[in-house]
């Protein structure tokens, strides 16, 4: 073994110490960089020179520079981060929704309902007071406007979440595209089988962690290896790496397959996400997205759409449906009572696509049974009362084949019958009023020039309330409920009576009593609920408050879990400054020692050359 080989041994030690110092310096410089994994060198003995009487050492070599990373702990970190992102998104939006239907501290729809019934109570005590009717008008306007505003706020939030969903998918595609590019660079670095692309892998892990907070992903990373200070890690050299969403790979090694956001229906404001394969066949994977921010958005906005483009499996849509159910029942109940007020004629809402041959029992809210049509003279006396029945075959006028249905509403109203049982054919309903369909509306108008009025007293069919006969409220949902235009323009026309008698306030009293009565609410899922108006509204608002409270609890619990796992992950991968300073001194000492070896060998060489 030559003296120059000894010089090489010292030089190898010098190089190893320099690599250790460089790696330690790199750790210290990036100690505060989020997601950085500390790195360390792995030294091995250089192959010795086989000689007699034994092997002669040949110095050292740096075998690898690896990062401290535990794939198992990292997987738990991704999962907990996804839960925090989901819970935070849910909590933020549900707390916002809770403010829409606020019913505490004298605010919101609950207060408007109290004011509405209180105003009717005041009118009942002073039925002829115009000022009381104006107060009643204002309370009705406030109630309908707050319902409209709440519905609009919920719908706008749903639309905003849809925009966030589209932006979120764009971000998912951006991250996945960056990861595929990083995989290409990892492959270039590690393709020789010796190098480790540590910083690139850290960069990819940061993106992967961000991606997991956006959307549920399954990641596979090639074969299992052991890296410094950790177990159960996987390496892939950038090619044997996949990110799967909903059963489809959006990253396949160095290839990227973007997700597409498209309208599910032409008239829908809500979007779905599709995966397109290499043949451009599209698969809707919207309902496969779970977890993370986008999973929370879909659970709020709805992750499925029905044939009309309406969101299903949606918390916000459930709240909208409950508000619609409340509003529709309020409209029907109030209008059913108000239809008992005697008017000069009766005009219903437009039946739209429901033609005059349709079965009335199929209309939501109308039940089989009967209602009375009453005629009053100018003294407020009943001069005729006719009982109209609704059964399974009752239509507005005709049969499906176009023939006249004798059991229809119009035929029952117009038939010649002895309503009073006095054998007088000149004082019955058909002698005073006639019924017909005009422009899609049922109209019951006077036959005479005399001052007769007409009213409907319902016995459980809810016909007047559903059809809007002489309505007080118009509309059929929370977004469309409003005070009838004629009433709004003429508050003095508000009736407190049934029979047109001065001082009569029996209708106003019935309206006050409505707040204590149980009524039927029809939900979007075809379920029904029977309770008071206030009870149903408080149930709906309490559900929102309960969901918001539970979301806060879930967020706090997920944050505690995430902090625990984050601390565990940092204990494996984070830079410990004290440890790095110790390593720095160790490598500095080793460097100085190897430098002294080289100095000693240099003097030996000088001595050897001096012998010449």
169, 177 Cβ separation under 8 angstroms: no
Mean pLDDT, the chain, whole residue set? 89
- pLDDT at 105 (0 to 100): 46
Report whether the peptide linkage leading into residue 53 is cis, meaning its omega lies within 30 degrees of zero: yes
- Identify the weakest region by mean pLDDT among 52-56, 415-419, 473-477, 531-535: 52-56
Higher-confidence residue of 600 and 304: namely 600
User: Which residue is listed with tokens 């149980």?
Assistant: 518
Q: Residue 98 falls within a domain, yes or no?
A: no
Backbone angles phi, psi at 319, to 5 degrees: -65, -40
With a cut of 60, say whether residue 229 has pLDDT above it. no
CA-based nearest residue to 198, from 39, 62, 25: 39
Residues 366 and 394 reside in one and the same domain = yes
102 lies in some domain: no
pLDDT at site 104: 45
pLDDT > 90 fraction of the chain, expressed in percent and rounded: 67
**Does residue 384 register a pLDDT over 60?**
yes
Identify the pLDDT of residue 582. Answer: 95
Q: Check pLDDT > 50 for residue 370.
A: yes
Q: For 470-510, write each residue's pLDDT tens digit.
A: 899 999 999 999 999 989 999 999 999 999 998 899 999 99
Of the candidates 353, 439, 438, 356, the one whose C-alpha atom is nearest the C-alpha of residue 403 is 356
- 246 in a structural domain: yes
In this prediction, residue 164 carries a pLDDT of 94
Domain assignment of residue 552, yes or no: no
> Same structural domain for residues 269 and 296?
yes
Q: Is the pLDDT of residue 123 over 90?
A: yes
335 and 298 belong to one structural domain: no
Q: Which residues contact 408 (CB under 8 A, 6 or more apart)?
A: 356, 394, 395, 396, 397, 398
600 within some domain: yes
Residue 11: domain span: 3-67+575-610
pLDDT at 601 over 90: no
Residue 558 lies in a domain: no
Statement to judge: residues 303 and 411 lie in one domain = no
* Residue 492: DSSP 8-state: G
The reply to whether 560 falls in a domain is: no
Q: How far are the Cα atoms of 408, 413, 442 from residue 439, in angstroms, in the given order?
A: 18, 19, 8
Q: For residues 111 and 175, state if they share a domain.
A: no
Domain boundary among the residues 273, 295, 316 is at 316
Residue 519: left if φ>0, alpha if ψ -120 to 50, beta else—which one? beta
Whether residue 567 is contained in a domain is answered as no
Instruction: Report pLDDT digits (tens) over 141-170.
Output: 999 999 999 999 999 999 999 999 999 999
If asked whether residues 395 and 471 sit together in one domain, one would say yes
| One domain, residues 152 and 164 | no
**23 and 126, same domain (yes or no):** no
Residue owning tokens 């149903």: 536
> Which DSSP category does 247 fall into?
T
Number of structural domains (the chain) is: 3
Q: Are residues 292 and 436 in the same domain?
A: no
Answer yes or no: do 356 and 474 share one domain: yes
Band of residue 101 on the pLDDT scale cut at 50, 70, 90: low
Lowest mean pLDDT among 54-68, 403-417, 575-589: 54-68
The last residue of one of the domains, among 316, 346, 380, is 316
Q: Are residues 368 and 505 in the same domain?
A: yes
Query: What is the average pLDDT across 359-371?
Result: 91
The answer to which of 220-234, 304-318, 403-417, 443-457 has the lowest mean pLDDT is: 220-234
Q: In the numeric block, which tokens belong to residue 262?
A: 């498209």
**Does residue 224 carry a pLDDT above 70?**
no
Statement: residue 466 has pLDDT above 80: yes
Given a cut of 90, whether residue 245 has pLDDT beyond it is yes
**Per-residue pLDDT, 239:** 87
Domain boundary among 546, 561, 594: 546
Residues 228 and 252 in one domain: yes
Q: Is the pLDDT at 269 greater than 80, yes or no?
A: no
Q: Is a pLDDT exceeding 80 seen at residue 267?
A: no
> Could you give the residue ranges of the DSSP H alpha helices within 44-107?
71-100
User: DSSP letters of 365-384?
Assistant: T--SEEEEEEEE-TTS-EEE
The pLDDT, as a whole number, for residue 265 is 57
Closest CA to 501 of 453, 447, 444, 430: 453
């Amino acid at each position: 073994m030559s003296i120059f080989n000894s010089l090489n041994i010292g030089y190898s030690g010098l190089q190893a110490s320099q690599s250790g110092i460089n790696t330690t310096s790199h750790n210290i410089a990036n100690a505060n960089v989020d997601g950085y994994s500390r790195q360390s060198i792995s030294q091995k003995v250089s192959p010795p020179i086989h000689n007699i009487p034994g092997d002669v050492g040949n110095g050292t070599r740096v075998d690898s520079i690896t990062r401290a990373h535990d794939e198992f702990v990292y997987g738990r970190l991704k999962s907990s981060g996804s839960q925090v992102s989901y819970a935070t998104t849910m909590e933020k939006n549900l707390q916002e929704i809770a403010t829409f239907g606020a019913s505490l501290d004298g605010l919101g729809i609950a207060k408007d309902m109290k004011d509405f019934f209180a105003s009717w109570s005041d009118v009942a005590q002073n039925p002829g007071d115009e000022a009381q009717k104006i107060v009643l008008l204002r309370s009705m306007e406030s109630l309908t406007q707050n319902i409209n505003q709440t519905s609009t706020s919920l719908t706008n939030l749903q639309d905003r979440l849809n925009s966030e969903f589209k932006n979120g998918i764009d971000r998912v595609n951006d991250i996945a595209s960056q990861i595929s590019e990083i995989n290409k660079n990892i492959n270039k670095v590690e393709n020789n089988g010796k190098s480790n692309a540590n910083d690139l892998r850290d960069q990819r892990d940061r993106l992967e962690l961000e991606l997991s907070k956006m959307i549920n992903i399954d990641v596979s990373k090639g074969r299992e290896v052991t890296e410094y200070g950790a177990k159960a890690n996987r390496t892939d050299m950038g090619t044997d790496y996949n990110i799967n969403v909903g059963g489809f790979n959006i990253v396949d090694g160095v290839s990227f397959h973007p997700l597409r956001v498209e309208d599910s229906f032409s008239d829908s404001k809500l979007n779905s996400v599709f995966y397109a394969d290499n043949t451009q066949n599209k698969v809707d994977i919207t309902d496969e997205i779970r977890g993370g921010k986008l999973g929370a958005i879909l659970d709020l906005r709805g992750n499925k759409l029905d044939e009309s483009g309406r969101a299903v499996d949606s918390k916000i849509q459930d709240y909208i449906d409950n508000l619609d159910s409340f509003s529709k029942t309020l409209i029907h109940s109030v209008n059913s009572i108000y239809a008992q007020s005697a008017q000069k004629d009766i005009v219903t809402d437009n039946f739209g696509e429901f033609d005059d041959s349709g079965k009335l029992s199929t209309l939501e809210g109308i039940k089989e049974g009967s209602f009375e049509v009453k005629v009053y003279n100018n003294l407020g006396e009943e001069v005729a009362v006719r009982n109209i029945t609704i059964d399974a075959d009752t239509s507005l006028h005709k049969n499906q084949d176009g023939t006249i249905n004798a059991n229809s509403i119009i035929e029952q109203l117009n038939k010649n019958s002895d309503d009073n049982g006095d054998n007088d054919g000149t004082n019955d309903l058909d002698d005073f009023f006639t019924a017909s369909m005009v422009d899609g509306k049922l109209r019951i108008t006077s036959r005479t020039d005399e001052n007769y009025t007409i009213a409907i007293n319902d016995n459980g069919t809810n016909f007047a309330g559903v059809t809007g006969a002489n309505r007080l409220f118009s509309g059929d949902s929370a977004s469309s409920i409003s005070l009838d235009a004629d009433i709004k323009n003429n508050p003095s026309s508000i009736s407190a009576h049934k029979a047109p008698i001065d001082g009569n306030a029996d209708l106003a009293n019935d309206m006050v009593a409505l707040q204590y009565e149980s009524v039927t609410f029809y939900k979007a899922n075809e379920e029904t609920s029977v309770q008071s108006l206030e009870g149903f509204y408080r149930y709906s608002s309490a559900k929102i408050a309960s969901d918001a409270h539970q979301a806060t609890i879930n967020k706090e619990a997920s944050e505690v879990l995430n902090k625990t796992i984050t601390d565990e992950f940092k204990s494996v991968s984070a830079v410990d400054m004290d440890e790095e300073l110790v390593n720095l001194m160790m490598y500095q000492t080793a460097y100085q020692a190897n430098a002294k070896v080289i100095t000693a060998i240099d003097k030996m060489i000088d001595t050897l050359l001096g012998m010449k």
